[in-house]
Amino acid sequence: MNTIFQDILDYGPALLGGLRISLALTGLSLLFGTILALVFALGITSRNKAFRWTSTFFVEIGRGAPALVLLQLMYYGLPNADITLSSFTSATLALTWTASAYMAEYIRGGLAAVPGGEIEGAQALGMSQQDTLRYVTIPQGIRIALPALMGFAVLLFQATSLAYSVAVPELMSQAYSAGSSSFNYLSLFIIAGAIYAAISIPATWLSVGVEKHLAKHL
Amino acid sequence: MQSIATDPLTTGQTAVRVTNLAKAYGDHVVLRDVSLEVAPGTVTALIGPSGAGKSTLLRCMNLLERPDRGQIEICSHRIDASKAISAKALAPLRRSAGMVFQHFNLFPHMTVLRNISLPQQRILGRSREEADTKSMELLARMGLADKAKQYPSRCSGGQQQRIAIARALALGPEVMLFDEPTSALDPEVGVEVLEVMKELAADGMTMIVVTHEMGFAENVSDTLVVMADGGIIEQGDPQRIMRDPQHERTRRFLRAVLER
C-alpha cells in the first residue's frame, strides 16, 4: 500500500501531465469527430450518390477497422506514402475517424427518430428544406442522440490510451514509463486506472442526468 | 395604390379551388376526382366517416401529401399536381395556407415564443423584435401571454393547439386549414380551441375544417361537405344537410354520429 502512495508522490505530476494530453486528444477528436459525424449522418441518407458513397466509405471503415489499426496506419503507415505526421496529430486523426464513424450512426438514428409531425409542421408553415433541417431536424435529432453521444465520449476518452502505441505521451504511456523505471507496474496501472475511472464514472452519470433532463422536453 | 383587380379575393370569388384531385396509395384509392370551391371569408366543414379521404384532401391542399393528379389553387397560387412541383412554387402556396394539425406539431425544443417567431423570421424575413411583437400580440389574443417563455411540453393540449393556431396566423395566411383540431383533446379543453376558431371565423378568415364536432359543423360553418369513399357525396347549407340529408350514405353517417 505504501508503494502506491510513494508512486503517487513520485509520478503524480507526470501522470497528470499525461492526463492533460489524454483530455486534449479526447476533446479534439470529439470536436472534429462531431462535425464530421453530422456531415456523414446527412451523407449516408443523402440522395446525392457521390456524397452518400463517400460518407458510407468513411463510416464503414471507421467502424469496421479497430482504432488501434487506424492509429498505426496513420503513424507508421502514412510515411510510406511520404506523409509524416507527429504522433499527436496522427492519433488525433485516427481517433477522429473512429469517433466520427460511430457518432454518425448515433446522429443518423437521432435524426430518423425526430417525430414526422414536427417536420410536417415546419413544411406546412412553408419553411424551406434547409431551414427545416437547421432549426428542427438537426437540433431535435442531436438532442435525441445526445445521451448516446456522451456515452461514446467516455469510451473515446478511454480509447485514447491506445495512443501510447504511437508514442503520444498521454496518461497510459506515462504510467508505462513510470512503471518501467520503478518496476511498480501494479501500483502505477492501478493509479492510472483510477484516474481514468475518476473522469469516466462522473461523465457517465452526467450523460444519464442529461438523458433524464432531455426526456422532459421531447 | 393597390389595384383591386390583382386582389385574388375580389377577382376569383374563390379562395380555394381544387379541381379533379386524385390520390391513391398503390391499389388503394383515397381520393377520386375531388373538386371543391371555397369562397373567401367562409367556413367549410369537411365531415364523413373515417377513411373517407377528408384529411388526405386537406393535406393535399398544401402538398403535405402529393396528389397523383389535379389542380390546387389557393389565393391565385396554382399548382398542377401532374407536373413537377418546384420549391419556388410551393412556398407561396404554403405561406397563404396556414395549417393546424390534430397533434399540434409544435417544436418541442423551442419556447412558445420561438415557436411563433422563428417561422416569421425565416419565411417573412421579419426581425426578431418585429416577430416577437407580433407573436406576443397573438398570444395575448389567445389568452396565453404568460406562456411565452415556457416550453410546449409545459402547456396543456388546448393551450398547445392555440399556440399552433397563433404560429400559423403569425404568417398572415389567407386561408386556414384545420385537420381535426380538437380530436386529440378532452371535450372541455376542445371548447377553448373551438372558441378561438369561432372568433377567427367571425373575423372573416377563410377556413376549411376537417372535424367530428357536429355542433361546430352545423352552427359555425357556412358550407358542409360530406365525404365518403374518396369522394364528395353531398355539400351545401349545414342546417339543411343535417335536417334533410339527400344521400343514403350521409343519412347513415349522421345517424351513427348523432346517436353516439
Inform me whether the pLDDT recorded for B6 exceeds 50. Answer: no
CB-CB under 8 Å, A121 with B105: yes
Residue A212 has pLDDT above 90, yes or no: no
User: Structural domain boundaries of chain B?
Assistant: 16-106+174-259
Using a CB–CB cut-off of 8 Å, the residues of A that contact B are: 117-118, 120-129, 131, 135-136, 139-140, 143, 216-218
Report residue A49 CA to chain centroid gap.
27
Q: For residue B38, is pLDDT > 70?
A: yes
A38 pLDDT more than 50: yes
pLDDT at residue A218, rounded to an integer = 57
What pLDDT is attached to residue B4? 39
Contact B91 A128 (CB under 8 A): yes
> Is B2's pLDDT higher than 70?
no
pLDDT in tens, B214-258: 988 998 999 999 999 999 999 999 999 999 999 999 999 998 887
The Cα–Cα gap between B243 and A172 comes to 84
Given this model, what pLDDT does residue A7 score?
Answer: 76
Do A125 and B94 lie within an 8 Å CB cutoff? Answer: yes
Task: Tell me which CATH code domain B16-106+174-259 carries.
Answer: 3.40.50.300
Q: Which residues of B touch A210 (CB under 8 A)?
A: none
Summarize the confidence of residues A82-103 as an average pLDDT. 94
Q: Per the CB < 8 Å rule, is A126 touching B94? A: yes
A2 pLDDT band, cuts 50/70/90, is low
pLDDT above 50: residue A152: yes
Q: What is the pLDDT of residue B8?
A: 43
Contact A52, A104 (CB under 8 A): no
* B74 interaction partners in chain A (CB closer than 8 Å): none
Q: Quote the Cα angle for B254-B256-B257, to 5°.
A: 65
Q: What is the mean pLDDT of residues B21-41?
A: 93
As a whole number of angstroms, the distance between CA B66 and CA A217 comes to 31
* Residues whose CB falls within 8 Å of the CB of residue A128, separated by 6 or more in sequence, listed in order: B87, B91, B122
- Cβ within 8 Å of residue A6, ≥6 positions away: none
Compute the half-sphere exposure of residue A57: CA atoms within 13 Å on the CB side of its CA: 6
What is chain A's mean pLDDT, rounded? 91
Strands B223-228 and B69-74: unpaired
Chain A residues with CB-CB distance to B164 below 8 A: 121
DSSP, collapsed to helix, strand or coil, labels residue B100 as strand
pLDDT of residue A217: 62
Q: What does the pLDDT read at residue A1?
A: 57
User: What residues in A contact B99, CB-CB < 8 Å?
Assistant: 124-125
Question: Do A39 and A57 touch, CB atoms closer than 8 A?
Answer: no
Q: What percent of chain A has pLDDT over 90?
A: 71
| Mean confidence (pLDDT) of chain B | 90
The answer to whether the CB atoms of B109 and A121 lie below 8 A apart is no
pLDDT for residue B49 is more than 50 = yes
User: How many angstroms away from the CA of B119 is the closest CA of chain A?
Assistant: 7
| Residue scoring higher pLDDT (A96 or B8) | A96
Binary contact (A124, B105; C-beta < 8 A)? yes
Amino acid identity for residue B67 in this structure = P
Q: In this model, does residue A48 exceed pLDDT 70?
A: yes
pLDDT at B5 over 80: no
Contact yes or no for B108 and A217 at CB 8 A: yes
Judged by DSSP in three states, B30 sits in: strand
* Chain B residues with CB within 8 Å of chain A CB: 62, 64, 87, 90-92, 94-95, 98-99, 101, 103-109, 118-119, 122-123, 151, 153, 164, 167-168, 171
Q: Region B119-139: what's the mean pLDDT?
A: 95
Please, what are the domains in chain A? 2-215 (1.10.3720.10)
Predicted local confidence at residue B227, as pLDDT? 94
Residues of B with Cβ-Cβ distance to A122 under 8 angstroms: 107, 119
CA-CA distance, B151 to A217, in Å (whole number)?
7
Question: Residue B122 has what pLDDT?
Answer: 94
Model confidence pLDDT, tens digit, residues B54-70 = 999 999 999 999 999 99
Sorting pLDDT into bands at 50, 70 and 90, what band is B84? confident
Q: Which of B179, B245, B206 is nearest to B46 (CA)?
A: B179
User: Helices (DSSP H) in B17-110: which residue ranges?
Assistant: 54-61, 87-96
Mark yes or no for CB contact A217/B118 under 8 Å.
no
Q: Nearest CA to CA, how far is A181 from chain B (Å)? A: 54
Band (pLDDT 50/70/90 cuts) for residue B12 is low
Rounded distance, CA B73 to CA B141, Å? 30
pLDDT value at B10 more than 70:
no
CA distance A30 to chain B (A): 24
Chain B neighbors of A124, CB-CB under 8 A: 62, 64, 94, 98-99, 101, 105, 168
The predicted model scores a pTM of: 0.83
Look up residue B181 and give its three cell numbers. Answer: 383540431
Give tens-digit pLDDT for B170-227: 999 999 999 999 998 888 888 889 999 999 999 999 999 999 889 889 989 999 999 9
Do A71 and A163 form a contact (C-beta atoms < 8 A)? yes
| Residue of A114, A120, A125, A130 best to disrupt the B interface, most CBs of B under 10 A | A125
CB contact under 8 A, B101 and A127: no
Give the residue from B109, B178, B180 with the most A CB atoms within 10 Å of its CB, the best one to mutate: B109
Q: Nearest Cβ partner of A120 from B95, B105, B108?
A: B105
Q: Which three cell numbers stand for residue B15?
A: 379562395
Q: C-alpha grid cell for residue B202?
A: 367571425
Indicate if the pLDDT at residue A33 is higher than 90. Answer: yes
A123/B171 Cβ within 8 A: no
Percent of chain B with pLDDT over 70: 95
Mean pLDDT of A182-204: 91
Mutate to test the interface with A, among B74, B107, B169 (most CBs of A within 10 A): B107
Q: B210 has which bridge partners? A: B46, B179
What DSSP character marks residue A164? G
